[in-house]
């Protein structure tokens, strides 16, 4: 058996996407999103996508880079995935070793990595000196059978209307302003600065999985008051990219309204299963997802390791 680690090539996209779906089946991952991530990353991120090739077959990958927008310097990420049928044959170790060497060369002091709450993944991370940090709770909702709450538009509070992201195609800046404010308040272990509008357009608005027709926006007297982002893969899978409410409008149930509208739109468009992920400490969103009937699907842990100076 010959194992090599090398940089990603466009021809690897299908194999990388398949490996990611094998490890994280709830994510919206397609060859197109893999290529887009590699090609659209800001230069400041120092992004690389490494692949592990076993006897000519790509069996895993590691996406690595710097949290360049963090207020704290020296923070990096390395998210490694190995296809389920290739576990235990050295691909993960080879990828992580190469990733850490690259990041250390950039001067990174800490590296963060997401991993499943599964014995093989946890053991692998802890043996390599990673310590557990935050959790993410993944929920699953079967849209073919879910009893979604009805949308009674006549019962909306005065001044509230529902739109879609597609309605903001000519000027998405109101969505940007709402999104960056909500992102600032989202729990996490890496504090990020305010994303410039041009980068938000490139990284969020132009994301190939973003479904603007299924992304719902609650507007109050013309102002964005809540939104629920939809990512889809064209094969019946829907992922809630972000659901948020700017501070002024919190406590009115508008995030729940926007997400309900998005889920109704998703089902009408032929989506069969919806997934969502939330920080383990994000009580309000976890409560909303429980209210919709999401069932636990998986738990991810964020692990961190100090890199030697």
> How many residues in total does the chain contain?
309
Cα 77 to Cα 80, 289, 304, distances in angstroms: 10, 28, 9
Q: Spell out the residues 6+ positions from residue 125 whose beta carbon is closer than 8 angstroms to its own.
A: 113, 115, 301, 303
Q: In this predicted model, what pLDDT tens digit does every residue of 181-213 receive, in sequence order?
A: 999 888 777 777 788 999 999 999 999 999 999
* pLDDT number for residue 284: 87
Residue from 244, 246, 249, 208 nearest 229 by CA? 244
Q: Please, what is the average pLDDT of the chain? A: 94
Residue 281: the pLDDT is 87
Confidence of residue 309 (pLDDT cuts 50, 70, 90): low
Cα(171)–Cα(163) distance, integer angstroms: 14
Across the range 255-266, mean pLDDT stands at 96
Under the banding of pLDDT at 50, 70 and 90, the label for residue 153 is confident
The strand ranges marked E within 109-236 are 110-116, 131-142, 160-164, 216-220, 223-232
**Cα–Cα distance between 92 and 96 in angstroms, integer?**
6
Report the pLDDT value the prediction gives residue 227, as an integer from 0 to 100: 98
Q: How far is CA 31 from the centre of its chain?
A: 16
Which residue in the block uniquely carries the two structure tokens 């406590």?
251
In sign, the C-alpha dihedral spanning 286, 292, 296, 297 is negative
Q: Which residues pair with 235 in a beta bridge?
A: none
E strands present in the chain: 3-7, 48-54, 57-66, 75-82, 110-116, 131-142, 160-164, 216-220, 223-232, 237-244, 273-279, 295-306
Per-residue pLDDT for 224 more than 80?
Answer: yes
């Amino acid at each position: 058996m010959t194992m090599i680690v090398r940089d990603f090539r466009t021809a690897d996209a299908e194999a990388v996407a398949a490996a990611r779906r094998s490890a994280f089946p709830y994510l919206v991952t397609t060859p197109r999103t893999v290529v887009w991530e590699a090609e659209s990353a800001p230069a400041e991120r120092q992004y690389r996508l490494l692949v592990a090739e076993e006897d000519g077959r790509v069996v895993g990958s590691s996406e690595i880079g710097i949290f360049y927008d963090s207020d704290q310097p020296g923070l990096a990420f390395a998210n490694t995935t190995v296809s389920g049928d290739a576990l235990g044959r050295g691909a993960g170790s080879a990828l992580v070793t190469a990733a850490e060497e690259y990041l250390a060369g950039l001067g990174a002091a800490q590296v963060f990595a997401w991993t499943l709450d599964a014995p093989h993944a946890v053991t692998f991370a802890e043996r390599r000196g990673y310590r557990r940090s935050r959790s993410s709770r993944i929920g699953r909702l079967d849209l073919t059978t879910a009893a979604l709450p009805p949308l009674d538009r006549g019962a909306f509070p005065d001044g509230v209307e529902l739109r879609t992201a597609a309605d903001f195609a000519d000027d998405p800046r109101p969505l940007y302003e709402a999104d960056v404010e909500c992102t600032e308040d989202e729990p996490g272990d890496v504090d990020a600065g305010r994303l410039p509008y041009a980068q938000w357009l490139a990284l969020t608005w132009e994301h190939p999985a973003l479904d603007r027709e299924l992304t719902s926006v609650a507007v109050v007297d013309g102002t964005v008051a809540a939104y629920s982002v939809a990512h889809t893969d064209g094969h019946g899978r829907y992922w809630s990219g972000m659901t948020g409410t700017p501070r002024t409008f919190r406590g009115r149930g508008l995030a729940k309204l926007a997400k309900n509208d998005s889920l109704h739109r998703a089902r009408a468009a032929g989506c069969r299963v919806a997934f969502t992920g939330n920080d383990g400490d994000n009580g309000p969103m976890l409560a909303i997802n429980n209210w919709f009937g999401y069932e636990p699907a998986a738990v991810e842990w964020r692990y961190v390791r100090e890199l030697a100076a």
